């Protein structure tokens, strides 16, 4: 009987620790493009289900998507239960397991290999990234473009993704000390 109480206490401590840790574990932000010109939550859920039929979660593979006016409004940010319940992402390969587990995935709808994202998308992406980085105290060096992560072999988020400008803007906004 005594043993059982000890076990219960241990389980309780672990549960509380996980409950506190789980939503606060985010350490990376990984940026993607959808590679298709049309996109919204339903569409990306369907694609994810087809590609990753073994994953038990019926959700998009990212935590957020940013619309391009084709499927959802230009610059609108959407998410589903992957973020609502702080579930792991399925947005990088198995080579970077930790970046799925502790990395928030943001996907810009569109094929940024062929064309630039819209100004509204860029503004939303910047705003969302800054908000998440501040909220979870994520280092700017841990905000990455998918294909630039070691071990990933993809062009995602496309050659037209303005990574230099994005990092410069992030730097400005994240080191701005007079904000909250």
Interface ranges with Zn ion (CB under 5 A): 32, 146, 156
Which one, 125 or 156, has the nearer CB to Zn ion?
156
In the bound complex, what is the minimum distance in angstroms from residue 104's beta carbon to Zn ion? 13
Which one, 44 or 133, has the nearer CB to Zn ion?
44
Q: Determine the Cα–Cα distance for residues 64 and 26; give it in Å rounded to an integer.
A: 14
Bond into 157 cis (ω within 30) = yes
In the bound complex, what is the minimum distance in angstroms from residue 91's beta carbon to Zn ion? 6
Report the DSSP pairing between strands 64-66 and 103-108.
parallel
Which one, 48 or 146, has the nearer CB to Zn ion?
146
In the bound complex, what is the minimum distance in angstroms from residue 105's beta carbon to Zn ion? 8
Which one, 71 or 158, has the nearer CB to Zn ion?
158
SS (H, E, C) 79-134: CCHHHHCCCCCCCCCHHHHHHHHCEEEEEECCCCCCCCCCHHHHHHHHHHHHHHHH
In the bound complex, what is the minimum distance in angstroms from residue 175's beta carbon to Zn ion? 27
């Amino acid at each position: 009987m005594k043993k059982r109480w000890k076990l219960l206490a241990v389980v309780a401590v672990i549960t509380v620790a996980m409950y506190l840790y789980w939503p606060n574990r985010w350490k990376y932000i990984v940026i993607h493009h959808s590679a298709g010109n049309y996109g919204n939550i339903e569409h990306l859920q369907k694609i994810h289900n087809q590609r990753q039929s073994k994953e038990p979660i019926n959700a998009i593979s990212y935590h957020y998507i940013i619309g391009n006016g084709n499927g959802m409004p230009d610059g609108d940010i959407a998410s589903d239960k992957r973020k609502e319940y702080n579930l792991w992402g399925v947005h990088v390969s198995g080579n970077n397991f930790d970046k799925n587990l502790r990395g928030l995935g943001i996907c810009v709808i569109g094929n940024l290999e062929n064309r630039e994202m819209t100004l509204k998308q860029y503004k939303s992406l910047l705003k969302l990234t800054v908000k998440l980085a501040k909220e979870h105290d994520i280092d700017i060096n841990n905000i990455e473009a998918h294909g630039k992560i070691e071990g990933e072999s993809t062009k995602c988020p496309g050659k037209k993704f303005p990574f230099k400008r994005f990092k410069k803007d992030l730097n400005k906004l994240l080191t701005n000390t007079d904000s909250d």
